[in-house]
Amino acid sequence: MTLASLITVPLVYLLTRAIAKRTSVLFKNQQAQLGKLNGHIEETISGIQVVKAFNHEEKAIQEFEEVNTALRKVGLKAQIFSGFLMPIMNVINNIGFAAVAIVGGILAVKSLITVGVIASFLSYSRQFVRPLNDLANIFNVLQSGVAGAERVFEILDEQEEPKDLPNAVELKNPKGHVVFKDVSFGYRSDVPILRNINFESQVGESTALVGPTGAGKTTVVNLLTRFYDVTSGSIYIDGRDIREYTRDSLRRCFGIVLQDTYLFSGTIKENIMYGKPDATDEEVKRAAAMANADVFINRLPLKYDTMLSENGGNLSQGQRQLLAIARVILSKPSLLILDEATSSIDTRTELHIQEALLNIMQGRTSFIIAHRLNTIRDADSIMVVDYGEIIEKGNHDMLMEKQGRYYSMFFNQFKNIENTVES
């Protein structure tokens, strides 16, 4: 009777194995298509202005329908195959019920067991397969959940930033002496971005990086702040390899103003205080005044308590950049990185900002990335970067006398400006 009751077990095993083998692939594809659909929706909504500006609405709708159709097809197949499980489980349960009844009837005829024992086995066999039936009812949910979990685990398994060395030390009271020694770097080992970069910035010096787009200027400062680690060579701050410092202490000594400014949801005051949470209201206002941001802030109804939407969407690009500069001024960093810090600011305001930046650069080692060469004429050292290499180095007067790449860039830029003014 026990053997007759267990006849359903191998049948259930073979059934679930066959169905799971097919549906697992379908559910994985379903999750992949769902990810594509969500990505398309997020990109379209976040870039809605570009979509409308290029009259791309119909194309975006068409792309959505294609991805959505693919999702519907693979989802339908997955649900159909997983839906087979419950009906077939009922058939197997009935086969087990019939097997117990037949074997029990034969044994009862031979007077080996009573009818009561047969009834008990029938009742218990039903209870035995009930959990399997419940599992079959939620089988498609489990399969979909497993497929989704695999995608989550792929992200969780991605390698994080390398941990600090066991003997890493805190960078305290940095002076700002920076040395790049034979530094090479590539996002991929077979595609180098920087090749054998060598330079030295003394304490308090300003170093400007100029060159065409994609030359590797921003990569240099990304390596300095350890957003990436060098492929070969070493970077030293105050005589010690930056990999021997803890990341937290290293990054605390930098003040960074990027071309693409990011502001957080909250008040203007909270965004300026981001680098110095314990700053007083007077310090915040002083930093905003130095950045020339107080002009537009005081015109707002709530002034410094004005709430900003995500990434400061209710401010112009230039106003967001002014707040980013004020944020750096308030934090008073030991080393300063300006990556096209005034690219979105009008020329008149830029003059005021240049004065503020010159004030905070006094006594601080600074790295300036700029395409407008008039903004870096006073830099102590100017490096021309092209194809990942430093091809020229010196101050403005030296490079102009040399009449090399920097001279050509400077001459062509101001020639274009003169032609624009004349036209």
Instruction: Say what the pLDDT of residue 140 is.
Output: 67
Instruction: Say what the pLDDT of residue 423 is.
Output: 47
Write the pLDDT tens digit of every residue in 65-88: 999 999 898 888 887 877 777 777
Say if residue 310 is in the same domain as residue 347. yes
Say if residue 246 is in the same domain as residue 119. no
172 in a domain, yes or no?
Answer: no
Say if residue 313 is in the same domain as residue 398. yes
Alpha carbons 97 and 313: distance in angstroms, whole number: 67
Write the pLDDT tens digit of every residue in 367-415: 888 777 777 777 888 888 888 888 888 888 888 888 888 888 877 766 6
219 in a domain, yes or no?
Answer: yes
Domain of residue 75: give its range: 2-156
Phi, psi of 308 (to 5 degrees): -100, 140
Our CA dihedral for 26, 27, 31, 36, rounded to 10 degrees, sits at 10
240 in a domain, yes or no?
Answer: yes
Say if residue 204 is in the same domain as residue 344. yes
Enter the pTM of the model. Answer: 0.67
Say if residue 184 is in the same domain as residue 94. no
For residue 318, give the CATH number of its domain. 3.40.50.300
Say if residue 64 is in the same domain as residue 192. no
pLDDT at 417 over 60: no
How far is the CA of 248 from the CAs of 147, 163, 185, in angstroms?
A: 36, 11, 22
Q: Which residue is it, tokens 């994609």?
A: 214
129 in a domain, yes or no?
Answer: yes
- With beta carbons less than 8 A apart as the criterion, state whether 328 and 182 touch: no
For residue 69, give the CATH number of its domain. 1.20.1560.10
Instruction: Say what the pLDDT of residue 174 is.
Output: 82
171 in a domain, yes or no?
Answer: no
Structure tokens at 243: 């990999």
Strand order in the sheet with 365-369: 254-257, 335-339, 365-369, 206-210, 381-386, 389-394
For 72-110, letters b (16+ CB in 10 Å) and e give eebbebbbebbebbeebbeebbeebbebbbebbeebeee
Say if residue 182 is in the same domain as residue 234. yes
Domains in the chain, number:
2
Say if residue 347 is in the same domain as residue 225. yes
84-93, 261-270, 401-410: least confident range: 84-93
- With beta carbons less than 8 A apart as the criterion, state whether 311 and 367 touch: no
Say if residue 280 is in the same domain as residue 236. yes
Say if residue 128 is in the same domain as residue 214. no
Instruction: Say what the pLDDT of residue 343 is.
Output: 64
Structure tokens at 223: 């390596």
